[in-house]
Amino acid sequence: MACMSRSTWRLLLIVVFMQGLAMSIARAQVLAQAAGFDPLALESAPVQKIESQSNLKMFVEGAIGTSNRRYQLGDADLRRASFDFNYSGRIGQGLRFVFSDRVDNIRPTSPGRDSTINSLREAYLSWQSDSGSDIVDIGRINLRYGPGYGYNPTDFFRDGSLRAVTTANPFALRENRLGTVVLRGQHLWTGGSLSVAYSPKLAKRPSSDGWSLDFGSTNNRDRGLVALGTQLSESVSTQLLAYKEQGLSPKVGASITALLSNAAVAHAEWSRGSEPDLLKHTLLLPESKSTRNRFAGGLTYTTVGKLSLTAEYQYNGFGLDKSAWAALAANAVNQVNYLLQAQRLQDQVPRHAFLVYATQKDVGIKNLDLTAFLRVNLVDQSRLAWVELRHHWPNFDLAFQLQQNIGRSTSEYGILPDRRVIQLLGSYYF
Amino acid sequence: MKKLALLFLSCFIGGFASAGPSAEEILAASDAIRNPGRPFSVTVTLTEFQGGKQVDTSTLVSYSRTQQVGGQFASLIRFVLPARDAGKLMLKNGNDLWFYDPASKASVRISPQQRLLGQASNGDVATVNFAKDYNVKLLAEEEIKDGHGKLRRARKLGLTAAAADVTYASIEMWVDAGNSQPIMARFYAESARLLKTAYYRHYQQQLGVERPTETVIIDGLNPQSVTLMRFTDYTARVVPETWLQRDYLPRFQPE
């Protein structure tokens, strides 16, 4: 816990320093500009013509960096080039088409994977009644649920959905995931909605082919989901979910978000179900099913100075506790296999974990944003710290990222080959 | 005899006072000039200045309608420019605020203090009927300079929050004495600190009424920080109430 406190304090110190810097520079700017001007003499920027019938968003991104590695592996150069495409447009009365795809070329290449990986995230048709209250979708859809920042127990379609891992930031990771092929119907009324989704089995196993549609990752069993969303009041909303997949008994889940004050928002999500033990499954031991809970709950507070801080506790009843983790640590190969399996399922490794997530807009200068987070494994006390400074120009972003994996050699983050990763990214938006 | 004279005088004053519109009526008339009385969309161009120098610009489209319960406006705001933000949505239904990013498919509840739009607050771009959220008093009638530097005869209104959860604790608002067009407003925090000053200007015919098509917002703490909000393309729209909730955000398709 002492280690956790040190890391948390370090992160908070960085954030507080940045905010102090921002305020000092802002004050200096005000003094420098004291010459004065007439605000009523200012003129608005030219009004842009809007093409409103479709949403098209495209960007290219390049990253260079270096990884400082453990196990006497030395430093490794990192390179990535990505193309990201999103389109959503009307193709008829009440009918729209959504297409979302991403191509990543990543060096060095992960073992057993192609260097170029295509992720067809979404491709579906959506029909909507004139009132917008009845909707039917068919195709590959990113069904994402849950208000949690770093862990989503009610996000039942998350497993196997990431083909290329390009960041440790949980928010950015969600942008790259594959959707699931589903038939979905939804009915909305004032203050609520009910949706039903059916996802059929289309393939048996995941594909390592970089250009594969990879239905084996997202549609390797029959699955169904019912979700009921309700707005209990202006400041409280909930979601209830029931999920069933082939070969397993149904799972239930619920989530809630609440506005606590002008500056504070709380969130919580929970799921319960019966599953095979992940550890036994990974180690090819005789499997047994057990019924357990998953939970994530947190609070976000925003200061007047645009600093948003989120603290989130995460619980995975299927994750390893201290004694099980210690037993697994006796065999490094088993431990790595277990971590890789948890990563593929996007599930939480330890029984208990904690996340602090901070964002600060306009750090010192306009359009310079800071994002930082700290993940703490409360079972083995290992930590992942991540900081990004990102400057926006009208069509271009430049970002500097630093990631540090901290912990003993047998811990979740300490066992990773990468000790420290530093990257510079540039993104151009068309 | 003295009592009779006092009674006569009070009737005379009362009759005089009731000859003009009440403070509530003036504020409601001013709201009706800023906001169309039917569901609509409007394009909002935000231009930010620091010390007179333009530092940022963004474009949004706001879809608004009054709610059947309470009568206050609810707004769905679509980000158009800059390109990195295209397609993002913000929903404002009173203090029920949501931000939706189509890239992550995440609908995130945000607090009123979380800003998505640079210097402008989330409430600045959403449509608000002040008469629904504030108690109002007529404070004075005086001459003030409008957003074009022209002297105008104005009624000064004092607004105080009717509930604890509204954005501003109090507002001073000047409206034209003849036609109730809003001219200027000062917005205060509970501590009586000036948060911002707004000038309503560039009146043009939009959806059948002369409406302000530009608002100049001057930061109360840092007057060097100024945001111009330009309103164009007012269009009457069908905006069903079912659109104005979290679960509709992933479904929204611009028209």
How high is the pLDDT of residue A340? 87
Dist CA B156 CA B107 (whole Å)? 41
Contacts of B95 in chain A (CB under 8 A): 234-235, 259
pLDDT at B174 over 80: yes
Low-confidence ranges of chain A (pLDDT < 70): 1-35, 51-54
How high is the pLDDT of residue A2? 44
> Inter-chain contact B84–A429, Cβ cutoff 8 Å?
yes
Dist CA A394 CA B81 (whole Å)? 9
How high is the pLDDT of residue B115? 75
Mutate to test the interface with B, among A262, A361, A390, A391 (most CBs of B within 10 A): A262
A24: tokens are 């000092």
Nearest to A135 among B83, B108, B251 (CB): B251
List the single residue in A with minimal CA-CA distance to B102.
Answer: A175
How high is the pLDDT of residue A397? 97
* Sequence letter at residue A224: G
Better pLDDT: B15 or A393: A393
Q: What is the CA radius of gyration of chain B?
A: 20
**Which DSSP letter does residue B179 get?**
T
How high is the pLDDT of residue A8? 54
Q: What is the per-residue pLDDT across B95-120, written as a single tens digit (0 to 9) for each?
A: 889 999 998 888 999 998 887 776 67
Average pLDDT, chain B: 88
A361: tokens are 């807009």
Contacts of A135 in chain B (CB under 8 A): 251
How high is the pLDDT of residue B218? 94
CA triplet A276, A282, A285: central angle to 5 degrees?
A: 70
- % of chain B beyond a pLDDT of 90: 65
Residue A398's Cβ-count burial label (10 Å; 0-12, 13-18, 19+) is: middle
List the single residue in B with minimal CA-CA distance to A141.
Answer: B105
Of A83-87, B125-129, B130-134, the poorest mean pLDDT is in: B125-129
How high is the pLDDT of residue A1? 42
Cβ pairs A/B, distance under 8 A: 193
Contacts of B163 in chain A (CB under 8 A): none
ipTM > 0.90 (yes/no) = no
Q: How far is CA B252 from CA A129, A166, B83, B96, B242, in A?
A: 12, 29, 18, 18, 11
A303 touches chain B (CB under 8 A): yes
Residue B105's Cβ-count burial label (10 Å; 0-12, 13-18, 19+) is: buried
Better pLDDT: B18 or A310: A310
How high is the pLDDT of residue B145? 95
3-class SS at A419? Answer: strand
pLDDT at B61 over 90: yes
pTM of the model: 0.88
3-class SS at A6? Answer: helix
How high is the pLDDT of residue A28? 53
Of A379-388, B1-10, B38-47, the poorest mean pLDDT is in: B1-10
Cβ contact A228:A194 at 8 Å: yes
How high is the pLDDT of residue B10? 46
pLDDT at B9 over 50: no
pLDDT at B146 over 80: yes
Dist CA B63 CA B99 (whole Å)? 15
How high is the pLDDT of residue A77? 96
